[in-house]
Amino acid sequence: MLPGVVVLVSDQPGRSALLAEALRGVGTCEVVGLDVDWSTRAAAIAVVADVDAARPAAMQCLLALQAQAWAGTAPLVCISQRTSDKALRQARVLGASACLPFYAEPHIVVTALLNLLNPNEGALNATIRQCAERAGAALTSLFNTASHDGRVDLQAIDSCVDPLLLALSDGGLARWLNTIRAHDNATYQHSLVVAGLAAQFATHIGFPEAQRQRLVRAALVHDVGKARIPRALLLKRGTLDADEAAVMRTHTVLGYEILRASRHADPAMLDAVRHHHEMLDGSGYPDGISGDAISDVVRFLTVCDIYAALTERRSYKPALPSDEAMTILQGMQGRIEPRFVQAFGQAVARAA
C-alpha cells in the first residue's frame, strides 16, 4: 500500500463501496460525491472518478479538480458510463490519465491505477501477463491434443519454462498469482499456479537452473491426464461420490500414458505426473507407494499442488488464505515431506 490518499469521486452509490474496498489496496481511500470542495482538501496521490461525465455537475467537479495545483501529478482514472469515442475524448479533456468502461471490475481499476502510479509496475505487469498468456496458450494446445488421443508435443510447453522463471524472478510470485487469478481461463489456472509456486519454491531452495526448469516443466503438465476426464466431472459442483472420485483419480495414470507416448517427456516429469497424489504413508494413489519410493521431485510438487488447490476458489469451496493453507499442510505430518513444507512456507511468506 502506498502512503497517501486515493480519492474516489462517485455518483454511483451502488458500487462505490466495492470499488473503495479495492482501492484501499493502493492507499487510504476516501469517497466523495460530486459536491466535493477540492480547494479544502489535501493533495491526493490519485483520483478515481466513477461518474457520468456527461452530467454538468460531474464536468464541473472534474474541471475544479484540474484547477488544483496537485492535480497535475496525481493520475485521474475515469470510469466511463459510456464507451463511445466521444465519451472517451470528453474524459481526456476533463483530465483523465486513463479511461475504463463501467463494467471494469475493481481489480482492473486497481491495476490501471498502479500502472499509472508506477510505470515500472506497468512494465512488470505486462511481462507477467504476456508470459501467463503464452503458457496458457501452450496448455490449451496440450490439453486439446491430449483429449483427442493425439501424440502431445511438449515443445510449446518447453518454450514457456525459461520465460516463466524469468518473469517470476523479475515480477514476483504475488504478481504472478494475481495475474493468473484475474485473467486466465479457469481450466489452466491451477497448472499455472502450481508452476509459479514451483518456480518460487525452487529458486528459494537454491536449486540449480536445470533442476528449476525440470520442476516448472513437470508442474505445467502435472494434471494433463484431466484432459481425458469427462468435463461434467471436472466442472461438478460439490464433492464427488465414490465412483466419480475413482474416475478423477485416474488422471494420474492417464497423464502418465499421454506423456509416455510423447518423445520429449523426461523421467522426472513422468514420475511427477503419475505420483503427485502419492503420500509418504502409502495412503495416496494411483500406486500406493510410500517412503523412499517417492522421489524428491514428487515430494516437492505435491506440496505445491496441495497448497495451490487449497488457495484456489472452486465452485464448491472458497479460496483459503495462505496462512490457513500452510496450517493444513503442516498438519499433514507423515504424509508429505516436512522439510519441504517448512521451506515452502518460507518461500511463500517471502513472496507475500
List, as one string, the DSSP characters of 284-341. Answer: SSSS---GGGS-HHHHHHHHHHHHHHHHS-BTTBPPPPHHHHHHHHHT-BTTB-HHHH
- Binding mask 123-152 vs Fe ion (x if CB under 5 A, - otherwise)? ------------------------------
CA dist., res. 256 & res. 267, Å (int): 10
Closer residue to Fe ion in complex, CB, 271/305: 305
Decide whether 223 or 271 has the Cβ nearer to Fe ion.
223
Q: Which value, to the nearest 10 degrees, does the dihedral of the CA atoms of residues 228, 232, 235, 239 take?
A: -100
What are 182's three cell numbers?
Answer: 484475474
For residues 44 and 70, the answer to whether their CB atoms sit within 8 Å is: yes
Q: Note whether 160 and 137 are within 8 A (CB).
A: no
Least Cβ distance, residue 225 to Fe ion (angstroms): 8
Of 50 and 223, nearer to Fe ion (C-beta) is 223
For residues 337 and 298, give the distance between their C-alpha atoms in angstroms, rounded to a whole number.
10
* Cβ nearer to Fe ion, comparing 223 with 278: 223
Q: Which stretch binds Fe ion (CB under 5 A): 42-50, 221-229, 238-246, 261-269?
A: 221-229
Give the β-pairing of 76-80 and 5-10: unpaired
Query: Please, are residues 297 and 210 in contact by the beta-carbon 8 Å criterion?
Result: no
Where helices occur in 172-250 by DSSP H, the ranges are 173-183, 186-205, 209-221, 231-234, 242-249
Closest approach, Cβ 310 to Fe ion, in A, equals 11
Give whichever of 52 and 223 is closer to Fe ion, judged by the CB atom.
223
Q: Residue 158: in which H helix or E strand, if any?
A: helix 155-171
Stretch binding Fe ion (CB under 5 A), from 89-97, 146-154, 198-206, 298-306? 298-306
Which of these segments, 53-61, 110-118, 164-172, 297-305, binds Fe ion (CB under 5 A)? Answer: 297-305
Q: Is there binding between residue 312 and Fe ion (CB under 5 A)?
A: no
CA–CA separation, 267 and 93 (whole Å): 61
| Residue 223 within binding range of Fe ion, rule CB under 5 A | yes
Least distance between Fe ion and beta carbon 54 (Å): 49
Stretch that binds Fe ion, among 16-24, 96-104, 229-237, 300-308 (CB under 5 A): 300-308
Q: Which stretch binds Fe ion (CB under 5 A): 77-85, 113-121, 261-269, 299-307?
A: 299-307
Contacts 24+ apart (CB under 8 A), 102-105: 102/12, 102/50, 104/79
For residue 123, the minimal CB distance to Fe ion (Å) is 31
Cα gap 218→280, rounded to integer Å = 20
Q: How far is the CB of 89 from Fe ion (least distance, A)?
A: 48
Total residues at interface with Fe ion (CB under 5 A)? 2
Instruction: Kindly indicate which of the ranges 92-100, 219-227, 231-239, 288-296 contains the residues binding Fe ion, using the contact rule CB under 5 A.
Output: 219-227
Return the residue of 52, 305, 312, 337 that touches Fe ion, per CB under 5 A: 305
Q: How far is the CB of 143 from Fe ion (least distance, A)?
A: 13
- 278 touches Fe ion (CB under 5 A): no
Residues 6 or more apart whose CB falls under 8 angstroms from that of 103 comprise none
Footprint on this chain of Fe ion (rule: CB under 5 A): 223, 305
